[in-house]
Amino acid sequence: MNNEHTFARREKAYIQGCIFPDIRVGMQRVNLTPTVDIINGERVTTENPPIYIYDTGGPFTDTHTCNDMKEALPRIREPWIRERHKKGQPVGQLACARAGIITPEMEYVSIRETMNAHELGIETNITPEFVRQEIAAGRSVIPANIRHPEAEPMIIGRAFRVKINTNIGNSATTSGIAEEVEKAMWSCRWGGDTLMDLSTGPAIHETREAILRHTPVPVGTVPIYQALEKVGGEVEALDWEVYRDTLIEQCEQGVDYFTIHAGVLKENVSLAAKRLTGIVSRGGSILSKWCMVKGKENFLYTHFDDILDILATYDVAVSLGDGLRPGSIADANDAAQFAELDVLGTLVERAWAKGVQAFVEGPGHVPMHKIQENMERQESVCHGAPFYTLGPLVTDIAPAYDHITSAIGAAQIAWYGTAMLCYVTPKEHLGLPNLEDMRTGIMAYKIAAHAADLAKGHPAAQIRDNALSKARFEFRWRDQFHLSLAPERAEEYFREGKHLDGEYCTMCGPNFCAMRLSRDIRKK
Amino acid sequence: MNNEHTFARREKAYIQGCIFPDIRVGMQRVNLTPTVDIINGERVTTENPPIYIYDTGGPFTDTHTCNDMKEALPRIREPWIRERHKKGQPVGQLACARAGIITPEMEYVSIRETMNAHELGIETNITPEFVRQEIAAGRSVIPANIRHPEAEPMIIGRAFRVKINTNIGNSATTSGIAEEVEKAMWSCRWGGDTLMDLSTGPAIHETREAILRHTPVPVGTVPIYQALEKVGGEVEALDWEVYRDTLIEQCEQGVDYFTIHAGVLKENVSLAAKRLTGIVSRGGSILSKWCMVKGKENFLYTHFDDILDILATYDVAVSLGDGLRPGSIADANDAAQFAELDVLGTLVERAWAKGVQAFVEGPGHVPMHKIQENMERQESVCHGAPFYTLGPLVTDIAPAYDHITSAIGAAQIAWYGTAMLCYVTPKEHLGLPNLEDMRTGIMAYKIAAHAADLAKGHPAAQIRDNALSKARFEFRWRDQFHLSLAPERAEEYFREGKHLDGEYCTMCGPNFCAMRLSRDIRKK
């Protein structure tokens, strides 16, 4: 993957903050070539304005910064956190927002969300004050642990661009630390908005440390995995003390959000036992087993307020895990799933009461006609807290292509209001993804997220589509590629046809090109 | 691709007709292994019934027939056509249906559409008489040229399984006849319900002949392409005579449906000229240019009744081309598109008046929030004739991944009622697809179609999902693969994890498998 080639017409650009002049929000600027027309035999050129692309790559997409993964990343949020501390302001974004304080993180995301709109004079309501209000109301979350100052602020909420999360992580049987850090870097470069480290292997602490110090996006984990490692994989040996210590360890390292399966209640486990595919969430199955073996209520539920006190100290957000999500079309929208969702709604309120930002995880496997009910119930039961779904997959029959089955459901549920989508790779149900699988999964989800932004009418989303389509119609092939989600791949496919810069491609051949004929018609 | 390996537990099965005992409807039967439980230390096995899979592969998926592509295919419909002729019945399915005649083709598709339902005792309304009524009403189409008796009958209509079309065809710059025939065969094996030969190169007649004689699914073409070849690529040299001769030539060869851009009216071309991306249909641009240069009305429109008379003779269906379909998000649902749709509605009525089966082509590029309007307008303006859409692509920004952008739109529009989806490959906008691109496109569209069948509540659709999910939950890996859309690919990905037949995969590793934990819970 040749960086220089790819980004030849893309360059890193930074936009400065107004309220906080030390803010520099990185984005990709695509510099376009002019439109060339021949009018009465004269060559007439018209400039095309540059297009800005939301950029999750941090220093990795800036050719002027060193990004060989050996040095740690710049700690951009450190002065902001220090300043808040000096001024005696609250630690957390939610507490600040409620106190009427606009943080640098809030201005940062407001700039990030409105690129192109500013430049092209499009009105948007996404001001720093609007961001503050959304956070204060709990409708949006900026996951930003004070111990992870390397992360560039981003916001999860239905009023904003739909975000995508990628999962990485080794299991007991595969891959090492360097490999995971490399995956993290590529995830950010390709467009992952957040990253979950789902490692379960022996070097779990060291892997996470390496990832956090090299990742410019928020990082999430599922702490029960490490807690279970600590007790030798014996579910019955899990207890609050080992979990609490694990939480603190991970908070100290800088994890920005935790998936916590506190909604798996003992009484609901039996509902899931009747299902075609039972419990398919790892966290859900661990805690269900714990409840069954111990005959006690889930300790994450009984200790939820203790958990929140720890999270509030570091401003870690809670992602309320859906341990009873359906794992097949047959189990979608069933009693187990919705019973848990009701519990999650009460946990959202408890999180807010403790000043902890919260979002809610969702399914899973859901046929298209049952997707909308998921969004509507979540919105109502969880009081408007952001929804974060895995797909959903709209059929069970396509292992090896579940990035597609799930992108279909993801696009739809994001249109209805889901704020963040957890990607699915072609290896889902079959094995752990390699780098190429991750790229495929990210592309499928960038598509789903952007399609939803268009359908939701995000003020700046269609600017990129229009610029790309104009480049396509005018045979500005390289402009088209640079505006696309996957410049290298698009150019690679095009080059197979061997007609670079000709006014046709191998689809039609030189005699039948619809767009050329259409341009001819327009000239007349 | 090792056929024997893939189909080890899949075998061809044939179901006989009741009204017409010589009908043998081919399908794939997946023979499943039993469920094994250990109950009180005893091994208890429970049989799982075989699952039937709709099969478009004809002789190619029957290991007992020769299918090396050297011999021509069996002409299964020849006796049925001869019989109708002897009895003095009408040539066409529509005319028969209106006369109250149930044809063998109608019984054939009724059996094909209800596999699994019969065996599992599920009630369906899809009887031969129901098929007849749907065809008589124009709501469904069986494209079946009397000169293409090799094609197995299939039905296109919203009351039935959503179908997918694949495109093949060489252009002036690429590929030969053998290559196209091989593509056709793989298209059928992988699940393409119909096949369009869009060849534009010099050997267009011979290519088509070879494809028709080796293809067990209906074949469509766009005759204007060959007509244009005949006049040396000069649009202004096109006229009714050369087009008429081309139609007759292709009818004689056995093409089952023609895309005819008779809805591109001179007065509507100027509407498209204002667009961001003008006209992106090849046929549409050819006819628009013809109208402009000649200053006359589109000769396909003025000669539409003549065209219908030819089609009726062979029972070729007309696919009313959308020459002004939008080629970008910006142009979706615009005046040009809907003006043409109104014209297509009048052409549907004229086709029906001449006893010609008709369906209507649709876009294109449409953002999600504008898709439903497409379906609703088509349904109303075109009097319930089936809709056949290309995607739609829900964003413009993903060249190289447009099989995904379009599968998202395709699933949605098929759920709303579109009867057939034209596939899009990763090479869309960039070049001609190779075999692997075709496979990728077909898989994306099989997913979209099946997802829509589930959402529409097709009585037998979910049986396959349930069987696969049950196999997944019970770690019957090979059963899962054989039930999947892509057995080889799924198994290949799984094997990369090197844990075949273990009760876990590399996703979780041996200590954390959610489904194993969940099964343990159920046992307790």
pLDDT, tens digit, 9 for 90 and up, residues B337-370: 999 999 999 999 999 999 999 999 999 999 999 9
Other beta carbons less than 10 A from residue A113's beta carbon: 23
Whether B171 sits inside 8 A of A411 (CB atoms) is no
CA distance B149 to chain A (A): 30
Angstrom distance (rounded) from CA B46 to CA B37:
8
- Contact in structure between A359 and A383 (CB atoms under 8 Å): no
Per-residue confidence band for B8, with pLDDT thresholds at 50, 70 and 90: low
Q: What is the structure's pLDDT at A234?
A: 94
CB contact under 8 A, A484 and B399: yes
pLDDT of residue B116: 85
Q: What is the DSSP string of B344-406?
A: HHHHHHHHHHTT--EEEEE-SB--GGGHHHHHHHHHHHTTTPPEEEE--BS-SS-TT-HHHHH
Report whether pLDDT(B317) > 50: yes
Q: What is the pLDDT of residue B84?
A: 97
pLDDT of residue A498 exceeding 70: no
- Tokens for B507, please give them: 């996703």
d(C-alpha A81, C-alpha B384), whole Å:
63
Residue A53, phi then psi, degrees to nearest 5: -120, 130
Instruction: Please state, as a whole number, how many other Cβ atoms lie within 10 Å of the Cβ of residue A172.
Output: 17
pLDDT at B9: 83
What would the mean pLDDT of B22-42 be, rounded to a whole number? Answer: 93
Touching A: B residues 307-326, CB under 8 Å: none
Using one digit for the tens of pLDDT, what is the confidence trace for B127-182? 999 999 999 999 999 999 999 999 999 999 999 999 999 999 876 555 688 999 99
Using the beta-carbon criterion (under 8 Å), do B515 and A285 form an inter-chain contact?
yes
For the segment B460-499, what is each residue's pLDDT rounded down to a tens digit? 899 999 999 999 999 999 999 999 999 999 999 998 876 5
Residue A276 scores a pLDDT above 50: yes
Å from B15 to nearest chain A CA? 24
Across the interface, whether the CB atoms of B281 and A514 are under 8 A apart is answered: yes
Q: What is the CA radius of gyration of chain B?
A: 24
A 208-227: CB under 8 A from B: 225
Residue among B190, B344, B195 nearest B255 (CA): B195
Quick one: average pLDDT of A269-287?
A: 93
**Which residues are CB-contacts of B42 (< 8 A; sequence separation ≥ 6)?**
none
Contact check, Cβ <8 Å, A408/B405:
no
* Chain B residues 266-305 with CB within 8 Å of chain A: 269, 272-273, 276-282, 284-286, 288-289, 292
For the segment A427-466, what is each residue's pLDDT rounded down to a tens digit?
A: 999 988 999 999 999 999 999 999 999 999 887 899 999 9
The answer to whether residue B259 neighbours chain A at the CB level (below 8 Å) is no
pLDDT for position A486: 94
Q: Does B435 touch chain A (CB under 8 A)?
A: no
Q: Mind listing the pLDDT tens digit for each residue in A3-49?
A: 444 445 889 999 999 999 999 999 999 999 999 988 888 999 999 99
Checking if the pLDDT of A146 tops 80, the result is yes
B51 touches chain A (CB under 8 A): no
Please name the residue of chain A whose CA is at the shortest distance from the CA of residue B524: A292
Rounded distance between C-alpha atoms, residue A115 and residue A274, angstroms: 49
Look at phi and psi of residue A281 and say left if phi exceeds 0, alpha if psi is from -120 to 50, else beta: beta
Q: State which residue of chain A sits closest to B224, comparing Cα positions.
A: A512
Share of chain A above pLDDT 90, in %: 83
Question: Could you count the other beta carbons within 10 Å of the beta carbon of residue A256?
Answer: 30
The CA distance from B256 to the nearest CA of chain A, in Å, is: 23
> Are A521 and B397 an interchain contact pair (Cβ–Cβ within 8 Å)?
no
Residue B280 in this model has a pLDDT that exceeds 90: yes
Quick check: A367 and B171 CB within 8 A? no
In whole numbers, what is the pLDDT of chain A averaged over residues? 92
Token readout for A509 is 């051949």
The answer on pLDDT for A70 being more than 70 is: no
B321-359 burial, b for 16+ CB within 10 Å, e for fewer? bbbbbbbbbbbbbbebbbbbbebbbbbbebbbebbbbbb
Which residues of B, range 124-153, sit inside 8 Å of A by Cβ?
Answer: none
Q: Is B338 on the interface with A (CB under 8 A)?
A: no
CB-CB contact of B256 with B145 (8 Å) = yes
pLDDT in tens, A75-105: 999 999 999 999 999 999 999 999 999 999 9
Report whether pLDDT(A174) > 70: no
Task: Name the residue in chain A with its Cα closest to that of B461.
Answer: A395
Q: B511–A225: do the CB atoms touch at under 8 Å?
A: no
Q: Higher confidence at residue A116 or residue A145?
A: A145
What is the average per-residue pLDDT within A298-320?
98
A510 closest CB neighbour out of B172, B400, B481: B172
User: Cα distance from B428 to chain A (closest Cα, Å)?
Assistant: 8
Chain B residues touching A500 at Cβ < 8 A: none
CB contacts, 8 Å: B484 with chain A: 397-400
Query: Does B415 contact chain A (CB < 8 Å)?
Result: yes
Give every CB contact of residue B105 below 8 A, 6+ residues apart in sequence: B77, B80, B93, B142, B144, B153
Nearest to A444 among B368, B404, B496 (CB): B404
Do residues B298 and B287 lie in contact, with contact meaning Cβ atoms separated by under 8 Å? Answer: yes
Per-residue pLDDT band for A517 (boundaries 50, 70, 90) equals: confident
Q: How far apart are CA B219 and CA B184, in angstroms?
A: 10
Please give the DSSP secondary-structure letter assigned to residue A23. Answer: -
Contact A454 B405 (CB under 8 A): no
Calculate what percentage of chain A has a pLDDT beyond 70: 94
Q: How far is A213 from chain B (nearest CA, A)?
A: 25
Kindly state the average pLDDT of the residues A161-174.
84
In whole angstroms, give the CA distance from residue B309 to residue B88.
Answer: 19
Gap between the Cα atoms of A56 and B42, Å rounded? 55
pTM given for the model: 0.96
pLDDT in tens, A192-250: 999 999 988 778 999 999 999 999 999 999 999 999 999 999 999 999 999 999 999 99
CA distance A489 to chain B (A): 6
Report CB contact under 8 Å: A509, B171: yes
Q: What is the predicted ipTM?
A: 0.96
CB-based contact A400 B490, cutoff 8 Å: yes
Cα–Cα dist B316/B334, whole Å = 31
Chain A residues closer than 8 Å to B367 by CB:
451, 454-455, 462
> Of the candidates A512, A467, A315, which has an alpha carbon nearest to the alpha carbon of residue B204?
A512
Q: Which residues in A lie closer than 8 A to residue B273 (C-beta atoms)?
A: 521-522
Residues in contact with A22: Cβ distance below 8 Å, sequence separation at least 6, in sequence order: A79, A104
What integer pLDDT is reported at residue A512 of this predicted model?
66
Question: What average pLDDT does this structure show over B43-69?
Answer: 87
pLDDT at residue A463, as a whole number: 95
The reported pLDDT for the residue numbered B257 is 98
Residue contact A407–B407, C-beta within 8 A: yes
Q: Report whether B17 contacts B25 (CB < 8 A).
A: yes
B400 neighbourhood in chain A, CB within 8 Å: 484, 486, 489-490, 492-493
Task: Name the average pLDDT for chain B.
Answer: 92
User: Looking at chain B from residue 472 to 511, which residues have their Cβ under 8 Å from any Cβ of chain A?
Assistant: 472-473, 480-481, 483-486, 489-490, 492-494, 496-497, 499, 505-511
C-alpha distances in angstroms, B391 versus A424, B147, B166? 22, 30, 12
Distance CA A406, CA A418 (A): 14
pLDDT over 70, % of chain B: 94
Interface size A-B, in CB pairs within 8 Å, comes to: 391
Instruction: Give the number of other CB atoms < 10 A from CB of residue B46.
Output: 9
The SS3 assignment for B200 reads coil
Cβ distance of A512 and B328 shorter than 8 Å: no
Q: How far is A153 from chain B (nearest CA, A)?
A: 25
Rounded to the nearest angstrom, the minimum Cα separation between A307 and chain B is 23
Tell me: pLDDT of B122 over 90. Answer: no
**Which pLDDT belongs to residue A116?**
86
Using CB atoms, pick whichever of B407, B468, B494 lies closest to residue A404. B407
Residue in A395, A455, A508 nearest the CB of B451: A395
Per-residue model confidence (pLDDT) at position B68: 62
End-to-end CA distance of chain A: give it in Å, rounded.
Answer: 43
